[in-house]
Structures are given as C-alpha cells and as structure tokens.
C-alpha cells in the first residue's frame, strides 16, 4: 500500500501547483529609473542580510508590490544574489509580485469563521463583485482573497475591506450581509 | 485591585472593531459634561476583558464589586457615567436601569471559573503605559531576580513549576532553559514565538495587545537565566496592533533601563527587537522561524541539532511561546511549587484557551489544566447558541483533531487530548454544532495544509494535495470503498514520512474525524452501503 501511495505521490508532485510557491517568471523589463527611497530603506537597516524581510515589507509599502526591477534594486543595494531576494519574496504570502488592484477584500476562512459561515460570505462577495476567490487580478479594480485567521475568531465571521476589519457578519438572511457589504463600499457588479 | 473609581474600556483589537474607541471618547465627553475630573473618575484603556463576542466591553470599578457592560454604544455613555457615580457614592441603583440589557454577570461561570495567571494584568493595565504596568507589579520579579537570584536558581524555580511549552508540543520549559544555559560558553539568543498561526487561536494576540510588558519581563528573566544578551520577538504581520504595542513597550522599557546595558545596575545586558513575519504558517515551526528571523525563506530544518544547541547564527537559542514566557513572572513571584499545585500531574498550571465557533460565549478563557472539556465549552462557553447539543470541539488547529461530544468529559491536558487523536496545540478551541459536516471540516483543514506546505519535502507537498483531492470525493459524495482505504493509508504515509511537524500532523484532522465520525465518511460515499461493508472487513 505504501508503495502504491509513493507512486501516486510522484505523479502528484509533478502536478501539484501552488500559486505562491511557483516561481514567478522574471520578465525582463526596461531598466526603470531607480528609486532613492529604496536605497534609504536599505541604509536604515545597515544593509544587513537578516533585515531582508523587513526591507521587503517597507519597499512593498512604498510601491504597493514588488516588481522585478524593484527586487533587482533591493538585491544590488543589499549585496545579495537576486535569486535569494526573489526566493524570499516569493516564499511569503504577504509579498505581492504583481500590482494589486485598487480595492481589496480579504475574507477569513479560518476554522472559526468557516464554522460561522465564512465560505458563504466569500461566495456572496464573489457573486457581488463578479470575481473569483484568490484571483489576484480580480476585475481590475476589486479582488477577493482568503486569509486563514486574523485572530478575531471571537467575532467570526470576519472580513477585511481595504484594511478595515468588519466583524460578526451575519450570513442569514443574505440581505443583511448585502447591507453590510454595501455599507463597506463593495459595488454590486452583477445581478444576483 | 484598585478601588479608585474608574472605567476600564477594552482597547484590544476585538473591541476596537466593535467601536470601542468611539465609545471611550463618548465616555470622556460624558464625564466632562457631568462635571467630573479625570481624578474623580478615571477612564482607562485596557486590554482584553475576555468576552470578545460581546464587545465593546467596559468594566466599572468602585468600592463595591466591579461591574461589566457589553455591547455598549456611544449613546450609552451618559448612563454608564451615571452608573459608575452611583456605584461610588453608594446610592441605590435606579429602578429603570437603561443599561439592564448590557449588564454582564461577573458571577457567571464564564468569569467565575477562570483563574488568571498569564492573563493577570490583561484587562487591568493600560497596555500603552509602562507606569501602569509597573504600578501593577510588572518588572518587580525581573528586579528581584537580578538582585537576589543566580541564573541557576531561576531555572530551578521554573523547573519546579513543571511549566511546559504553550506553543503546542508541551516540552518542559525548565529542561529547555537548562539545555541552552549549559551549552559551551559564547553568545546565546532568546526568541519569542508570536507567530500564532493556528486558525481559531488568539491567545497570544491578546497578551501582546493587552499586557506586553509582562511578556518582556518574562523574556528578560529567561535571558538572564540562560545567559542571553540579545533576543527577538517574531510576530505575525496579521497582528498590526500587537506589533505597535510591543514596539512601544520595548521603547518604554529601554528608556527606563529595563532593557539595554547594565540593567538595574547589574552586569546584565539585553537587547530585544521585534521581527515581523510575512504570512507563512510554517514559520511558526521553530527552525523555520529562526531562518525567517535571519531574513531567509522559512523552511523547516531537520532536528537535531535543536535550536537550544544551534539556532540563530549557529548559537544556542531559547525559543518559547508568548504564553510560556508570560507565565514566568507569576511563577517567580509565587514560587514554582505554587504553580505546580495547579493543574494535573503531568500538565501543571493554567492554560489560556480561545473559545470560538458555535458557542454562546466567545472569548479568552484561562483555567487550570485538567479542567474537563465539558466545563470549558458547556459551562464556561454556554454551549451552542440555539441550545442544540455540541457535536465536536476542534483543538490543536490544523495539527489537531475533532473531539466528539461523547468524550467531552475528558480533562484538558496534553496527554488526554493526544489519546483522543487531537492535541492541546496552542489553545484554540472551535466548537462545532450539528450542522457542521466532518468530512468538510477535514477537507477544510487539508486545504489549509496544501496552502501552507513549504514545499520542501514531497510527502507534505504532494501528499496534502492528494489528500485534499480524495477528501473532495467525499465532500462531493462520489467516493468509493477504495477511496476509504486510500484515505487511511495516505494519511499514515504523510504522517510518518514528512520532514516537519506541519506535514507530520497535517493528516490529524482527517484521522481524528475518521476515528470518531467514520459514519459520516461512509454516508458520503456514492454507495454508502458498500463503504460500510468495506470498513467492516477492515475491522
Ligand atoms: C507547523 C508548525 C507550526 C507551529 N506554529 C507555532 C506557533 O504559531 N506558535 C508557537 O508558539 N509555536 C508553534 N509551533 C511550535 C514551535 O515549533 C515550538 O515548539 C515552540 O515555539 C516552542 O515554544 P514552547 O516550548 O514555549 O511551546 C509550531 C510548530 C509547527 C510544526
Ligand atoms: S478564524 Fe477567522 S479570525 Fe480566526
């Protein structure tokens, strides 16, 4: 049995794909003008290799995401191989390698939220915005992603809309949920 | 406990999101309008007041017993001020109490059965004021330890307490401290694991947001006990308020020379820094966490060597969970024997649980180890909101399992939960009612593990995907008897052959639901009768 499982696994290993785990192809881009703020961030951390994650956080805050040329600049500035910088940036879920949409929702699908109807909240938002869960491109303006617990489980189910935490959403009746979503500024893109 | 008239307003993130800050401003205005000064009636922001599901919460202290109010809106501010004045001048309560619907009964088991040790200062002190923390007694044990005790004596006390790691595995804390202390001379590090990634867990978040100085004191005592001069607190990025408060607390402690060089006039030096995660569950695993602190991908490493032998930059490193460190000051104050007198033979002291899911009272609960699970979820938690019976309690997050209703009389301790195929984990407890389908829960957790596998070892990377696909067949009612067998076998394989705890424990939610709710899997087959028969042959 174990042997059979192993064979199964080898196949699965080849097809298993995870959006965050796949290395993102580095498209060569035109040499962008360098951003002096990046050098500043690096200097503030004394260019120490162990500060890479902190530097990436701060650079992402400045640029909204970590574009290939930005990663290159960080690598040069910190004296690290680009492969190391890219490896770290692509490993962590919170680093974005693609430009984010202007508006973002994050619905919690952690256990407590799941038990309290988090999946229904997600489905309702997908329907409302006409986007797919965890499709970073969304509709170009709005995107919906999932998170796996925000530590607000006592007020489940929860949702973050553009950085604002919304708690104790009620999924029943759906109109009540719609009213909360409406109030949070989520447009009704599709007819339900 | 202070008897100066005061209103304690929960300013942790839970109550904040329920409008706690607007309420506090309204209270201040109402106090001014009533012609009262801040001395006459203090309005103090505090950390978690426990019953997170009923926020925003306000506690009212006076000469008599404290009162607690929940779900209060800014328009209740005037009535709250009046109530606190009445409580303080002893005038009779008004017959037509406008706050009647908001009064929470502090003699309710939810509060009465709690035994705060780690959470002693949580909800009492202002988390942003070091003066308040010091007035409450924080840093007194650090002071005493530095002046009166040798590192060996500190470790003895911790060993005597029987404290075990609260991050999940339950490793004896005193033993770990000894291991680090007894490594060959050279630099050492202390690290606090505040990555709290288990869905359903919010204990560490509450401690960081409510009483950060207590954690710093515990870490400083630990650093002294093992001979470390540098340390890190690794906090997940999803906890912005916790990070902000911890940074502020560290700054305050430095400015009071409670951190830095020659602390308390001794030769003890300690530098503590915050490191923020970037959203990778596996970084809660200690070897992955240490790599992340060093600015690398958080890939778990085979142990040995253990971090206690070779951790940050190859130096001996003590890594403990938030709750573990935070329990230390009380242990030194009251003595290891005192702590060991609480709890069970092998699980000493108290444990903080985060209660959520299908339960009336959601929030933070600290009870002695060994408290029956039923007491926690039914008596303290109040059971399922609609009064229907509890179906299962999930403990241990994605590494744990679901404990069925018929086992609710199990005492909550490390060993008992393991015997049931679950585990203590970090302390998240999610209550599930009749409407929750167990194969769906198992599928839910497997999706989590697929997402969070770091990809380093094949059994975990590919095995979790396979398991998720198999579980899909049950969720979609198209499973066959062969799927049932494959599910069992694949679980065992992933469990046995994965490199780190994430993979090794990823099958647990499946195994435990298969064990206690096998009939639900059978019923989820395309031809349920065939699955039942297959299961019967196996047994
Ligand atoms: C996948 C995985 C995730 C973990 N997540 C956490 C966590 O979020 N917090 C934590 O304190 N320990 C976590 N641990 C346990 C740590 O590896 C380690 O045992 C703990 O930090 C030691 O501290 P303690 O002895 O005080 O419990 C995790 C372990 C594994 C395998
Ligand atoms: S499970 Fe959603 S906040 Fe914890």
Q: What confidence score (pLDDT) does residue B4 get?
A: 76
Rg (chain A; Cα; Å): 20
According to DSSP, the residues that pair with B271 across neighbouring strands are B230
Size of interface A-B (CB pairs under 8 A): 182
Dihedral (Cα; A76, A78, A83, A85), 10-degree rounding = -120
Do A69 and A107 have their domain in common? no
Interface membership of B357 toward A (CB under 8 Å): yes
Position A188 in a domain: no
Rounded mean pLDDT of B389-418? 96
Alpha-carbon distance B122 to B136, whole Å?
Answer: 11
Do A122 and A81 have their domain in common? no
Contacts of A96 in chain B (CB under 8 A): none
Contacts of A84 in chain B (CB under 8 A): 296
Q: What confidence score (pLDDT) does residue A24 get?
A: 30
Indicate whether B36 pLDDT > 50.
Answer: yes
Indicate whether B537 pLDDT > 50.
Answer: no
Residue pair A47/A78 in contact (Cβ under 8 Å)? The answer is yes
Do A85 and A107 have their domain in common? no
Do A125 and A60 have their domain in common? no
Question: Based on the structure, what is the number of domains in chain A?
Answer: 2
Chain B contacts in chain A segment 23-82 (CB below 8 A): 48-54, 56-57
Interface membership of A153 toward B (CB under 8 Å): yes
Q: What counts of helices (H) and strands (E) characterise chain B?
A: 23, 14
Indicate whether A7 pLDDT > 80.
Answer: no
Indicate whether B516 pLDDT > 80.
Answer: yes
Do A122 and A156 have their domain in common? yes
Position A192 in a domain: no
Q: What confidence score (pLDDT) does residue A12 get?
A: 35
Question: Ligand 1: does its nearest atom lie under 6 Å from the Cβ of B323?
Answer: no
Place B88 in a pLDDT band, splitting at 50, 70 and 90.
confident
Where residue B232 falls (left for φ over 0; alpha for ψ -120 to 50; beta otherwise) is beta
Place A5 in a pLDDT band, splitting at 50, 70 and 90.
very low
Of A40, A63, A91, the domain-final residue: A91
Alpha-carbon distance B325 to B211, whole Å?
Answer: 12
Q: What confidence score (pLDDT) does residue B96 get?
A: 75
Do A66 and A111 have their domain in common? no
Mean pLDDT, chain B, rounded, equals: 95
Statement: the pTM of the whole predicted model exceeds 0.90 = yes
Q: What is the domain extent for residue A57?
A: 5-91
Ligand nearest to the CA of A165: 2
Do A73 and A111 have their domain in common? no
pLDDT tens-digit readout, B202-226: 999 999 999 999 999 999 999 999 9
Alpha-carbon distance B178 to B174, whole Å?
Answer: 6
- Domain with A20 in it: what CATH number? 1.10.10
Question: Which residue ranges form the domains of chain B, and what is each CATH number?
Answer: 6-106 (3.40.30.10), 130-340 (3.40.50.11540), 350-433 (3.10.20.600), 438-533 (1.20.1440.230)
The ipTM (two decimal places) reads 0.92
């Amino acid at each position: 049995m174990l042997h059979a499982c192993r064979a199964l696994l080898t196949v699965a290993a080849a097809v298993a794909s995870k959006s965050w785990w796949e290395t993102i192809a580095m498209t060569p881009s035109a040499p962008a003008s360098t951003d002096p703020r990046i050098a500043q961030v690096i200097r503030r951390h004394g260019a120490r290799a162990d500060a890479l994650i902190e530097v990436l956080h701060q650079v992402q805050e400045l640029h909204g995401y970590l574009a290939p040329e930005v990663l290159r600049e960080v690598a040069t500035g910190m004296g690290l191989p680009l492969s190391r910088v890219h490896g770290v940036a692509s490993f962590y879920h919170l680093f974005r390698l693609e430009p984010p949409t202007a508006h973002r929702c994050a619905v919690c699908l952690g256990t407590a939220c799941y038990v309290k109807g988090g999946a229904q909240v997600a489905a309702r938002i997908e329907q409302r915005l006409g986007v797919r869960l965890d499709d970073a491109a969304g509709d170009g303006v709005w995107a919906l992603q999932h998170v796996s617990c925000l530590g607000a489980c006592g007020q489940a189910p929860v949702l973050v809309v553009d950085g604002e935490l919304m708690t104790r959403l009620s999924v029943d009746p759906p109109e009540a949920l719609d009213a909360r979503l409406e109030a949070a500024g989520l447009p009704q893109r599709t007819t339900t | 406990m202070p008897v100066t008239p005061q209103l304690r307003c929960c300013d942790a993130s839970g109550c904040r999101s329920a409008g706690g800050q607007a309420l506090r401003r309204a209270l201040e205005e109402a106090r001014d309008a009533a012609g009262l000064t801040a001395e006459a009636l203090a309005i103090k922001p505090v950390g978690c007041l426990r019953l997170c599901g009923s926020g925003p919460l306000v506690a009212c202290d006076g000469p008599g017993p404290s009162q607690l109010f929940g779900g209060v809106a800014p328009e209740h501010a005037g009535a709250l001020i009046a109530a606190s004045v009445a409580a303080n001048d002893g005038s009779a309560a008004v017959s037509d109490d406008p706050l009647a619907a908001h009064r929470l009964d502090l003699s309710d088991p939810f509060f009465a059965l709690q035994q705060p040790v780690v959470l002693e200062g949580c909800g009492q002190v202002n988390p942003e004021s070091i003066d308040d923390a010091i007035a409450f007694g924080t840093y007194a044990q650090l002071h005493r330890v530095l002046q009166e005790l040798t590192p060996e004596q500190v470790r003895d006390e911790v060993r005597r307490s029987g404290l075990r790691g609260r991050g999940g595995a339950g490793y004896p804390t005193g033993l770990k401290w000894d291991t680090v202390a007894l490594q060959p001379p050279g630099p050492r590090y202390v690290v606090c694991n505040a990555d709290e990634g288990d869905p359903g867990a919010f204990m560490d978040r509450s401690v960081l947001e409510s009483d950060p100085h207590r954690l710093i004191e515990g870490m400083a005592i630990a650093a002294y006990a093992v001979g470390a001069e540098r340390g890190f607190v690794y906090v997940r990025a999803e906890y912005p308020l916790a990070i902000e408060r911890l940074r502020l607390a560290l700054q305050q402690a430095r400015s009071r020379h409670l951190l830095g060089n020659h602390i308390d006039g001794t030769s003890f030096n300690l530098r503590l820094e915050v490191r923020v995660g970037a959203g990778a569950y596996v970084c809660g695993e200690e070897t992955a966490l240490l790599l992340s602190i060093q600015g690398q991908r958080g890939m778990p490493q085979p142990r040995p060597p253990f971090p206690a032998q070779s951790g940050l930059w190859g130096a001996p490193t003590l890594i403990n969970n938030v709750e573990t460190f935070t329990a230390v000051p009380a242990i030194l104050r009251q003595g290891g024997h005192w702590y060991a007198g609480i709890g069970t033979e092998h699980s000493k002291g108290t444990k903080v649980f985060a209660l959520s899911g299908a339960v009336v009272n959601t929030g933070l609960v600290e009870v002695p180890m060994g408290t029956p699970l039923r007491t926690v979820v039914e008596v303290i938690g109040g059971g399922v909101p609609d009064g229907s019976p509890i179906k299962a309690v999930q403990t241990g997050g994605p590494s744990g399992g679901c404990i069925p209703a018929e086992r609710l009389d199990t005492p909550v301790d490390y060993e008992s939960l393991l015997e049931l195929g679950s585990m203590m984990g970090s302390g998240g407890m999610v209550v599930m009612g009749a409407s929750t389908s167990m194969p769906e829960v198992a599928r839910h957790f497997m999706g989590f593990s697929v997402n969070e596998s770091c990809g380093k070892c094949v059994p975990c990377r590919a095995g979790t995907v396979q398991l998720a696909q198999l579980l899909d067949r049950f969720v979609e009612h198209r499973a066959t008897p062969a799927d049932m067998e494959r599910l069992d076998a694949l679980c065992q394989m992933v469990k046995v052959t994965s490199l780190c705890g994430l993979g090794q424990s990823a099958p647990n939610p499946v195994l435990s639901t298969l064990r206690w709710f096998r009939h639900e899997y059978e019923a989820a087959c395309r031809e349920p009768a065939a699955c039942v028969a297959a299961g019967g042959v196996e047994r």
